[in-house]
Chain A
Amino acid sequence: GAGVSQSPSNKVTEKGKDVELRCDPISGHTALYWYRQSLGQGLEFLIYFQGNSAPDKSGLPSDRFSAERTGGSVSTLTIQRTQQEDSAVYLCASSLAYTQYFGPGTRLTVL
């Protein structure tokens, strides 16, 4: 079956612009996670959606970051007024139980 997909695969933007990153989870998966991975670094948790519950936003680094999940499926991560330190790979994962299934990521470069 289809795995987690993310778009775009690469995004280059200018400092100060807003960007939207999309995640299509595996159908039927109730949980969805966003992570940030900087070059050679580990996985930094950003936000977690579980079913219809309020999202856990405890990992968002600033109020420039927000995310929504529509209809319990597709999720969009929005970064407003991008900064150079936002450059990283943004990974989305979905799960039904314990195992997380990751997408290929979106590489964001802020010039």
Chain B
Amino acid sequence: QQQVKQSPQSLIVQKGGIPIINCAYENTAFDYFPWYQQFPGKGPALLIAIRPDVSEKKEGRFTISFNKSAKQFSLHIMDSQPGDSATYFCAASRGSYIPTFGRGTSLIVHP
């Protein structure tokens, strides 16, 4: 199975809240786990990525938590802002081969 299951499908938070998006994978050969952010009318853009040798990675207000034994990883957005409103996709790949994407999470951050 090459699936990556992403949840929730949609998420609404107030400004300053901490939305959390979760992904689960099945293929233990995956070794690269990126998150992409997509604004309406634009293509997805890499937000942050992690490899399975670390359990957490932070870049600014964005944090990936990785649980190798549970085969799960999640994106946390600290102090969320209305400008963070977008669709977020998790993905997983083995090396640089074709990534498997989650189905996406539509995030709305209210002012």
Chain A interface size band reads 20 to 34
Given A43-B89, A98-B32, A98-B93, does the pair A56, B43 have CB atoms closer than 8 Å? no
A12-20, A66-74, A80-88, A99-107 - the one binding chain B: A99-107
Complexed CA–CA distance, A40 and B9 (Å):
10
CB-based contact B93/A45 at 8 Å: no
Given A42-B89, A45-B98, A97-B96, does the pair A102, B103 have CB atoms closer than 8 Å? no
For B98, give its contact among A42, A48, A101, A104 (CB under 8 Å): A48
Chain B interface size band reads 20 to 34
For A42, give its contact among B34, B45, B103 (CB under 8 Å): B103
CB-based contact B44/A99 at 8 Å: no
Q: Count chain A CB atoms within 10 A of each CB in B34, B93, B101, B103 and give the residue with the most.
A: B101
A85: min CB distance to chain B, Å = 19
CB-based contact A56/B98 at 8 Å: yes
Complexed CA–CA distance, A13 and B74 (Å):
40
With a cutoff of 8 Å between Cβ atoms, the chain B residues found around residue A31 in the complex are 96
Main secondary structure of the interface of A (DSSP, over half): loop
CB-based contact B43/A33 at 8 Å: no
With a cutoff of 8 Å between Cβ atoms, the chain B residues found around residue A95 in the complex are 96
A88: min CB distance to chain B, Å = 13
Residue of B nearest to A96 (CB): B96
With a cutoff of 8 Å between Cβ atoms, the chain A residues found around residue B42 in the complex are 104-105
CB-based contact A99/B46 at 8 Å: yes
CB-based contact A93/B102 at 8 Å: no
CB-based contact A99/B49 at 8 Å: yes
Residues of A within 8 A of B (CB): 4, 31, 33, 40-43, 45, 48, 56, 91, 93, 95, 97-105
CB-defined A-B contacts under 8 Å, sample of 17: A4-B43, A40-B106, A41-B103, A42-B102, A43-B89, A95-B96, A97-B96, A98-B34, A98-B49, A98-B95, A100-B44, A102-B43, A104-B41, A104-B42, A104-B43, A105-B42, A105-B43
Residues of B within 8 A of A (CB): 32, 34, 36, 41-46, 49, 89, 93, 95-96, 98-99, 101-104, 106
